[in-house]
Amino acid sequence: MRYVVTGAAGFIGSNIVIELVKRGHEIIAIDSLITGRKKNLKAVMEMIDFMWADIRDINVCKSICSGADYVLHQAALGSVPRSVKDPKMTHECNADGTLNMLIAARDSGVKRFVYAASSSIYGDTKVLPKIETMDKNPINPYAVSKMVGEEYARVFNRVFSLETVALRYFNVFGPRQDPHGTYAAVIPHFIDCALKNEPSRIYGDGEQTRDFTYVMDAVEANISACEAKDANGESFNIGGGNRISINMLHQSIRRITGSDCEPNHVDPRPGDIRDSLSDISKAKKILGYNPYSDLSFDDCLGLTVEWFRRQRNEQP
């Protein structure tokens, strides 16, 4: 099969590309490299067709979709704080870029379009767990941009009969996630600080909770979503089905790494939600989704720590 993977040099996209290569598929990989890194694809670069280009250019989108069977649309400008700082660019990359890809997929006769949606669209509701039928209530520009992309996918399914599936990710973590920069996600930030034995930054009191998703579960969900019989036109929560406080997460990473790093609590960030937990029963039933499989959350944290440790040892 011929797959198009957008955001292919990013965290989730690169893991998808590597798994598809292992399974013998043909890959068209595209990334603007605004946040993606080519080194994430180093092991498979000679086995894929990589394009350094931007999906904000619709002609680029039409070019890569030509002859494709499936589109796995992972490209996005992530981070709530970044979206608060620059909502216009977030919208252009996430909403306009998604619309371009949908138009190109429709015109190219793609079999199915899988969209990397976001649990952020639920907002800061106190009702847990979050289920797909809940009202959307985005509270930051990033969440709005991801909701717009999902709504466009739904409309293209209904109006143009393009098969689409939306996967609402809950805090994905794992190998190849960037630990550096102002907008680093919490797990790679904690691991990086622990390995350096430096203080970790925690926003607010740290009692806020998150539902973390191991990246290989997100990869399997994308591949399953391409052909799952009853998935067309549907949205699915892709989470772990459990939640942990940021303080407890910090303690777990300290224990796994053997670090003495202390937390440094700072002011809460605008636009952040308080608690998150996914209901994944729909994904289990229709996609065969099975998060962590035979692994525990701590097992997946351990695998992630070991990957980051190897990266540090390989640095010159």
Question: Helices 297-314 and 186-196 sit at what angle, rounded to 10 degrees?
Answer: 60
Same domain, 145 and 193: no
CATH number for the domain including 299?
3.90.25.10
Number of domains in the chain: 2
Shared domain for 52 and 169, answered yes or no, is yes
Which residues pair with residue 266 across a beta bridge?
Answer: 203
Is there a single domain that holds both residue 193 and residue 104? no
How far apart, in Å, are the Cα atoms of 14 and each of 175, 179, 263? 10, 16, 31
Does some domain include residue 303?
Answer: yes
- Alpha-carbon Rg of the chain, whole angstroms? 19
Beta strands in 152-196 (DSSP E): 164-169, 172-173
| Tokens coding 151 | 């709504």
Q: Is residue 147 located within the same domain as residue 204?
A: no
Look at residue 112 in the predicted model and tell me its pLDDT: 98
Q: Is 266 within a domain? A: yes
Report if residue 178 sits inside a domain: no
User: What is the reported pLDDT for 306?
Assistant: 95
pLDDT score for 163:
98
| pLDDT (0 to 100) of residue 315 | 61
State the CATH number of the domain containing residue 39: 3.40.50.720
Residues 275 and 194: their CA atoms lie apart, in Å, by 24
- What pTM did the predictor assign? 0.94
Convert the pLDDT of each residue in 104-136 to its tens digit.
999 999 999 999 999 999 998 889 999 999 999
CB 178 within 8 A of CB 13: no
> Do 76 and 124 lie in a common domain?
yes
180 within domain boundaries: no
Query: Same domain for 197 and 250?
Result: yes
Does residue 298 belong to any structural domain of this protein?
yes
**Distance between CA atoms of residues 232 and 237, nearest Å:** 15
Q: For the chain, list residues with pLDDT below 70.
A: 181-184, 315-316
Query: Is residue 252 domain-resident?
Result: yes
Report pLDDT for 271. 79
Residues 166 and 122 in one domain: yes
Residue 199 and residue 137 share a domain: no
Tokens of 259: 């670090």
The verdict on 251 and 306 lying in the same domain is: yes
Same domain membership, residue 6 and residue 47: yes
Q: 26 - beta bridge partners?
A: 2
- Tell me what pLDDT residue 183 has: 59
Whose tokens are 């393009």? That residue is: 162
CA atoms within 13 A on the CB side of 244: 18
Structural domain harbouring 274: 186-209+242-278+293-314
Catalytic residue numbers read 142
- Residue 84 belongs to some domain of the structure: yes
Both 158 and 204 in a single domain? no
